[in-house]
Structure 1
Amino acid sequence: MTLLRLYNFFSNLLPLVANIKVPQLAFNKGLWFHAASVGEVNASLPLIQFFHNRFPDIPILYTVMTKTGQNRARTLLKFKCNTQVIPFPMDHPPSLKQIYKNFDPFALIVIETELWPNLTLLSQRFGVKSYLVNARLSQKTLPRYLLIKRIMSKVVNSFDLIFARYEEDKEKFLMLGAKPEKILTVGSLKYDIQLSSIASSKRLKRSDLGYKDSDFIVVFGSIRSKEEDEIVEAIKKLDLHRHPDIKVIVAPRHLDRAPHFASKLRDAGIKFVFRTQGFNPNGRILILDTIGELVAFYRIADVAFVGGSLANYGGHNILEPASCGVPVIFGPFVWNVRHEAKGLLLCKGGFLVKNADELASLILRLRDDISTLIEAGINAEKFTREKAGVAKKIGQIIAKRVGLRPKIGFRIKPRD
């Protein structure tokens, strides 16, 4: 028995151990998107918006692995009425065949790393073009896939096209046996996501928070537990008593760390206030203990440090402040965002520091060097905007390949 047949044998037994049931589908003749969880769903939004703007009548079916991802997809797709989000049936062949038959998609669009053998191989059997978008493979995943290269080679070659983010992603898919002509390196959807997020984010005014236009606002965003001590040390070195115009805002990556960070500030003799306690920090450090406001605070900042980078977490979203036209500072541990970090350093929109001393010194230097500060902010925003447009590029290629045309009539199955 071949590995693929063995895999299918166990896939068919899934209903014995899991509740796998495909709900009644409300539409047909549309686009089928598939993602693992919240991150991948977020990544797909610019592409969905492209198809919605060009082909507003086309239905979208979205299968998502996790419940949180399903909820996120439903929230993001509220603007589009002819959509349906359902759980992914765990590569169970009969369930997938049911979806292919009943939904009869124009195309299957898989996001990032979701390489399910039956999902994509069945697309060929049903004559459905399939695409892997924002394609990537982590250093942990690749060795595992190479152990079953005979299967994975068939899977990756079952896609009509693989839209790789970067050349290193392309090389990994080639290692799995993908044919070179099936891979296009188009860039990352991250930049499109960021511009879309900034455009729809909450807006604040400095005056609403008790800040003056002349204040120098520093935001420490997405701070992780192992770098909290460094951030407290950097704040101490900013000498806020000597520099009262410097206003500090700190956003822990996880809300449950807010009290712990506050305790460290208290031990250092630094006054603070939580965001949930009021709008006016009144000269104190503001700790964000709310959800969904970080981008709004980046908007009013003069400079931002993005956490997860002074300790070995890999770095967090450095494009958020960059998209707001804010110079970005980060530490040496940026392997999660290495391409973005390299780009920001090259365009002089970002700055690398190694410790609290360098961080505080750089902030004070930028405060005193307005021309460098302004130029860095302009460069950061320009870098983000120039890298955007990937969703449009991918969308146009897919639309052309599957024969979609604006104003095409779509046959919609009525709801029962």
Structure 2
Amino acid sequence: MSRILYSILLYMAIPAVLIKLVLRARKSPAYRLRWGERFGFIQKLPQDKPVIWIHSVSVGEAIASAPMVKALMGHYPNHQFVITTMTPTGSERVRKIYGDSVYHVYCPYDLPDVQNRFLNRIHPQMALMMETELWPNTIAACKARNIPVVIVNARLSEKSSRGYAKLGSLTRKMMQNIHQVACQNENDGERFRQLGLPNEHLTITGSVKFDLSVDDEINKSAALLKSSWESGLGHKAQILIAASTHDGEDKPVLDAFKTILKKRPDTLLLLVPRHPERFNSVFELSKSQGLNTIRHSQATETSPDTQVIIGDTMGELMKLYATSDIAFVGGSLIKNGGHNMLEPAALGVPVLSGPSVYNFTDISQQLEDAGGMRTIQNSEQLAAAVTELLADDAARKKMGSQAQAFVEGNKGALQKLLKLVTETIDRLH
């Protein structure tokens, strides 16, 4: 496919894209706002400082990129940093992490005139794209302006690779326009090569998701929160967290929890939906299952009858993980590819996951091989695994320690990535 044909098809798809935004806004009103940014209509930045542009599609990528961005901000205090996301939740997370220290807008769509407008208004010296953000027109526009594009913490699943391969020359040309791909592992790197990335443009750095730091404050605030819950419950609680769940997962999790309660009645379920527009519906679903349910956001005191707490706040997932004895990581019982199982692992919390982990194929397999994670196939297996681990403190703690050791043993990608990025920036001066 030629880039001209690709662009024509994208322009034809604009009405469908706008309809999708309207439909999504029914559940998440933030999608109604800031449409101009998605078409490159943004404030023009003053050109008194060089600009580094970082694109992180949503929450997970924004969190993963934060240590890199903060290190670069320290290394280049006279640069201005532009951070783009595609989702309101990603936008909210960027503002929470950086405040006013960065310029944040939604990433404009991959249309030639839109990207030209955007780049003409921010004039970046360099573009850093997180993970699998491969957009032909964006990358071509950067290449035409001699803006090096680095794909950082890059990954490419077999499914995505097959999709890009079908685009033929469009993908090959895009790969040739990329300055450098900093890949998580050799398997993903080989897929980039097969799509046409020159070998000299590939570096294997590992995943920066291993380099997440656990602040002492997280553990302190988690201990206080758990103590508060236990005070209201009137007993010590063993906590199962089901984190980042999607539609289609909450009911199986609640079914598993009801089975767990038959043998472990002191267990508390912390149920954390991935998307804020689902907080209300998941709260109602839990109550409809006959479970005594409260919402974390309302600071409601637990009572001896409390069984489920809905984690309906943003930016507190690590603290909620730290209160827990076992973590089930969602997006994995449905075909969504899973979410970051390294977050609970870094806290020494044993991890359970469903079978759909194509976003974390290598990491999940390695974590399981290290003894820090188990894969469950359904609600029944989730109930059985949790019941078994709650009954065996030694096995549960060993699994958590192995998970934490796995994370600690794989740190270092951030430093490799920073070396690559700083060398590229310094060559531009």
- Please state which band the TM-score falls in when normalised by the shorter chain: 0.7 to 0.9
- Alpha-carbon deviations, 1:188-215, whole Å to 9, x = none? 23333x4369976963522211257854
C-alpha contact 1:149 1:177 (8 A) present in aligned 2? no
- The 3-state SS of whatever aligns with 2:248 is helix
Residue 261 of structure 1 pairs with residue 250 of structure 2 = no
Aligned partner of 2:130 in structure 1 is 111
Aligned partner of 1:284 in structure 2 is 306
* Match runs of 1:159-178 below 5 Å: 159-178=178-197
Residue 55 of structure 1 pairs with residue 76 of structure 2 = yes
Q: Give the distance between the partners of 1:306 and 1:12, measured in 2 at CA.
A: 37
C-alpha contact 1:22 1:89 (8 A) present in aligned 2? no
* Pick aligned residue for 2:347 from 324, 336, 340: 324
Aligned partner of 2:104 in structure 1 is 85
Residue 46 of structure 1 pairs with residue 71 of structure 2 = no
- The 3-state SS of whatever aligns with 2:222 is coil
Bigger helix fraction:
2
C-alpha contact 2:283 2:293 (8 A) present in aligned 1? no
* Pick aligned residue for 2:413 from 378, 382, 390: 390
Q: Give the distance between the partners of 1:148 and 1:361, measured in 2 at CA.
A: 45
C-alpha contact 1:133 1:162 (8 A) present in aligned 2? yes
Where structure 1 has 5 or more consecutive residues not aligned to the other structure, the ranges are 409-416
Q: Give the distance between the partners of 2:330 and 2:363, measured in 1 at CA.
A: 14
* Pick aligned residue for 1:249 from 267, 270, 293: 270
Aligned partner of 1:305 in structure 2 is 328
Aligned partner of 2:97 in structure 1 is 76
C-alpha contact 1:273 1:286 (8 A) present in aligned 2? yes
Where structure 2 has 5 or more consecutive residues not aligned to the other structure, the ranges are 19-35
Deviation, 1:218, is 2.5
C-alpha contact 1:14 1:20 (8 A) present in aligned 2? no
- The 3-state SS of whatever aligns with 2:332 is coil
Q: Return the TM-score normalized by structure 1.
A: 0.79
> Which amino acid letter does the alignment assign opposite residue 260 of structure 2?
L
Residue 226 of structure 1 pairs with residue 245 of structure 2 = no
> Which amino acid letter does the alignment assign opposite residue 55 of structure 2?
H
* Pick aligned residue for 2:202 from 173, 183, 187: 183
Aligned partner of 2:28 in structure 1 is none
Deviation, 1:39, is 4.4
- Larger-Rg structure: 1
Q: State the number of aligned residues.
A: 397
Note closer, same or farther for the CA distance 1:284–1:159 as it changes in structure 2 (3 Å cut).
same
- Alpha-carbon deviations, 1:206-227, whole Å to 9, x = none? 2211257854332233344434
- The 3-state SS of whatever aligns with 1:402 is helix
- Alpha-carbon deviations, 1:3-55, whole Å to 9, x = none? 3456678999999x985435321343232223444444444322211201322
Note closer, same or farther for the CA distance 1:198–1:307 as it changes in structure 2 (3 Å cut).
farther
Q: Give the distance between the partners of 2:7 and 2:335, measured in 1 at CA.
A: 39
Q: Give the distance between the partners of 2:400 and 2:128, measured in 1 at CA.
A: 36
- Alpha-carbon deviations, 1:264-285, whole Å to 9, x = none? 1x1xxx5444443722242420
Aligned partner of 1:21 in structure 2 is 41
Note closer, same or farther for the CA distance 1:125–1:295 as it changes in structure 2 (3 Å cut).
closer
Q: Give the distance between the partners of 2:9 and 2:244, measured in 1 at CA.
A: 42
Q: Give the distance between the partners of 1:229 and 1:9, measured in 2 at CA.
A: 42
Q: Give the distance between the partners of 2:45 and 2:343, measured in 1 at CA.
A: 37
Aligned partner of 2:22 in structure 1 is none
C-alpha contact 1:123 1:129 (8 A) present in aligned 2? yes
Q: Give the distance between the partners of 1:251 and 1:336, measured in 2 at CA.
A: 20
C-alpha contact 1:110 1:131 (8 A) present in aligned 2? yes
> Which amino acid letter does the alignment assign opposite residue 257 of structure 1?
V
Note closer, same or farther for the CA distance 1:319–1:64 as it changes in structure 2 (3 Å cut).
closer
Note closer, same or farther for the CA distance 1:123–1:246 as it changes in structure 2 (3 Å cut).
closer
Deviation, 1:328, is 1.2
> Which amino acid letter does the alignment assign opposite residue 244 of structure 2?
S
> Which amino acid letter does the alignment assign opposite residue 155 of structure 1?
M
* Pick aligned residue for 1:129 from 140, 148, 155: 148
Residue 352 of structure 1 pairs with residue 372 of structure 2 = no
C-alpha contact 1:120 1:130 (8 A) present in aligned 2? yes
Q: Give the distance between the partners of 1:365 and 1:39, measured in 2 at CA.
A: 30
C-alpha contact 1:195 1:385 (8 A) present in aligned 2? no
Aligned partner of 2:168 in structure 1 is 149
> Which amino acid letter does the alignment assign opposite residue 78 of structure 2?
D
C-alpha contact 1:12 1:93 (8 A) present in aligned 2? no
Q: Give the distance between the partners of 1:395 and 1:349, measured in 2 at CA.
A: 28
- The 3-state SS of whatever aligns with 1:279 is coil
Residue 3 of structure 1 pairs with residue 2 of structure 2 = yes
Q: Give the distance between the partners of 2:115 and 2:331, measured in 1 at CA.
A: 39
C-alpha contact 1:137 1:172 (8 A) present in aligned 2? yes
Q: Return the TM-score normalized by structure 2.
A: 0.77
Q: Give the distance between the partners of 2:95 and 2:159, measured in 1 at CA.
A: 30
Deviation, 1:299, is 0.9
C-alpha contact 1:250 1:285 (8 A) present in aligned 2? no
C-alpha contact 2:218 2:319 (8 A) present in aligned 1? no
C-alpha contact 1:163 1:183 (8 A) present in aligned 2? yes
Q: Give the distance between the partners of 1:11 and 1:363, measured in 2 at CA.
A: 47
